[in-house]
Amino acid sequence: MTDSHAATQHGPELLHHFADEEQQRNSASLGMWLFLGTEIMFFGGMFLAYLVYRLNYFTDFAAASSSIKVPLGAINTAVLLCSSLTVVMAVRAAQMGKRKLLIWMLILTLIFGLAFLAIKGVEWHEKYEEHHIPGNFMGRAFDISDIQQAHPKLFVDPQHAQIFFSLYFAMTGIHALHMIVGVGIFIWLIYKAWKGDFGPKYYTPVEIAGLYWHFVDVVWIYLFPLIYLIDRKPL
Amino acid sequence: MSEHGGSTKLYWIIWASLIVLTFVTAGVAYLDLGKFNTVVALAIATFKATLVILFFMHVKDASERLTKVVIISSIFWLLIMLGLSLADFGTRTIGS
């Protein structure tokens, strides 16, 4: 290594096939966005299925949707938005080399993420208690007589309501799975930040994990109105 | 990377707007706007998503052009899938 490469004198954070740190960061960012492009199509397929059935079975979907508690969904939206704020603060802390602040922001993000999953769990448990899980989950046959009673003026087709709840569990379930993956990534980030691996010259993992986290937030921004708020007008 | 160590004021403003819009969208759902309930809900969601993408994901001033091309084409593919499929399913009824 007597050539020009040794003469450029860069730290271990810069891989030698990149010209400089900015190029390395941009490449990582581009790669993450390509992955998010596949994620957009992945979630897009489920949104499409949802839209097709919602167009056809609108009243059944609206009635089934009204059995889900809006406050739980709204609070969870706020929780996720707070976690997105702590993520951008974490990226900024890493850029400025503030290790302690970075660790705290990552821990806060983790707490918000776990709070989201806990609230989600409460909501799912409620659906289980109400017999709203499609099929015959753990001996509880799907039953929407409570939804039918709440909407005396219209007939709610149980088959169509079942499609709504299948999509509800698939979409919030896959979203929650992404949250669980995010929680794992952030635990790893906290460990790396604790070791002091991140600083102004190298914070790529914080930044691209942040991109992933924000993307999951954006998916929820659409899930909230589409699942919880189909038709809440007084009858 | 122009935002290096800048003020956090912008982040707080974006966050506050997102929180306010969340409660606006929840509140508007209880009003009877006819077909416009869905339109308003999706418009607010899209506005919120745009705020997150531009400011929190730093697309506005920190991404290079190639990244922006990837983002715009991803959204474009999504719109092709949704648009063409709904042009079909939206103009007929399932089972008929």
Q: B6: pLDDT confidence band, cut at 50, 70 and 90?
A: low
Q: Which of A34, A82, A217, A221 to mutate to test the interface with B (most CBs of B within 10 A)?
A: A221
Contact A41 B74 (CB under 8 A): yes
Nearest to A41 among B11, B77, B89 (CB): B77
Residue A4 has pLDDT above 90, yes or no: no
DSSP-derived letter for residue B60 is T
Residue B54 has pLDDT above 90, yes or no: yes
Residues of A in contact with B86 (CB under 8 A): 48, 51-52, 55
d(CA A122, CA A150): 22
* A3: closest CA of chain B, how far (Å): 31
Inter-residue contact A24 to B64 (CB < 8 Å): no
Residue B58 has pLDDT above 90, yes or no: no
d(CA A208, CA A47): 25
d(CA A52, CA A22): 44
Q: Which two tokens stand for residue B67?
A: 């990244």
Supply the pLDDT for residue B62: 67
Say which residues have a Cβ less than 8 Å from residue A118's Cβ, sequence separation at least 6. Answer: none
d(CA A118, CA B36): 33
- What ipTM does this complex have? 0.90
Share the mean pLDDT of chain B. Answer: 87
In this prediction, residues A13-31 reach a mean pLDDT of 83
Q: Which of B12, B22, B60, B80 to mutate to test the interface with A (most CBs of A within 10 A)?
A: B22
Supply the pLDDT for residue A2: 46
Residues of A in contact with B31 (CB under 8 A): 233
Higher-scoring residue by pLDDT: A146, A85: A85
Inter-residue contact A91 to A203 (CB < 8 Å): yes
Least-confidence region, from A98-102, A121-125, A154-158, B21-25: A154-158
pLDDT in tens, B65-94: 889 999 999 999 999 999 999 998 878 876
Q: A178: pLDDT confidence band, cut at 50, 70 and 90?
A: very high
Least-confidence region, from A13-22, A33-42, A137-146: A13-22
* B51: closest CA of chain A, how far (Å): 10
User: Please, is B35 exposed, middle or buried when counting C-beta atoms within 10 Å of its C-beta (0-12, 13-18, 19+)?
Assistant: exposed
Say which residues have a Cβ less than 8 Å from residue A116's Cβ, sequence separation at least 6. Answer: A76, A79, A80, A83, A179
User: Using H for helix, E for strand and C for coil, what is the string for chain A?
Assistant: CCCHHHHHCCCCCCCCCCCCHHHHHHHHHHHHHHHHHHHHHHHHHHHHHHHHHHHHCHHHHHHHHCCCCHHHHHHHHHHHHHHHHHHHHHHHHHHCCCHHHHHHHHHHHHHHHHHHHHHHHHHHHHHHHCCCCCCEECCEECCCHHHHHHCCCCCCCHHHHHHHHHHHHHHHHHHHHHHHHHHHHHHHHHHHHHCCCCECCECHHHHHHHHHHHHHHHHHHHHHHHHHCCCCCCC
pTM: 0.91
Share the mean pLDDT of chain A. Answer: 91
Residues of B in contact with A29 (CB under 8 A): 63-64, 67
Q: A171: pLDDT confidence band, cut at 50, 70 and 90?
A: very high
pLDDT in tens, A136-169: 888 888 888 888 888 888 899 999 999 999 999 9
φ, ψ for residue A92, nearest 5 deg: -65, -45
In this prediction, residues A45-68 reach a mean pLDDT of 92
Q: Which of B28, B32, B35, B57 to mutate to test the interface with A (most CBs of A within 10 A)?
A: B57
Residues of B in contact with A81 (CB under 8 A): 15, 18-19, 22
A141 forms bridges with which residues in the sheet? A136
d(CA A202, CA B78): 33
